[in-house]
Amino acid sequence: METIQNLTGAKWRKSSYSGDTGGQCVEVAAQPCLVAVRDSKVPEGPVFTVRPAAFAAFVKAVSV
């Protein structure tokens, strides 16, 4: 079972594809062993985390 990561103090970055119109936006925070992802409109809401290699593969796949 995996433990819940403490993301207090994480430096969140909004996607460069997100606009300033309040639309669909995601934020990511890179940590040493994971990448956290959340909805920028609900920063206190749920967060999911993935290993850096999995996140890199996802970004590469959607960037094509």
Beta-bridged to residue 38, according to DSSP, are 27, 47
Is the pLDDT assigned to residue 18 strictly greater than 80? Answer: no
Task: Give the separation between CA 53 and CA 35, rounded to whole angstroms.
Answer: 9
Average pLDDT for residues 15-42, to the nearest whole number? Answer: 82
Lowest mean pLDDT among 23-27, 30-34, 36-40, 47-51: 23-27
Q: How would you class 38 by CB atoms within 10 Å of its CB: exposed for 0-12, middle for 13-18, buried for 19 or more?
A: buried
Task: Give the separation between CA 47 and CA 17, rounded to whole angstroms.
Answer: 19
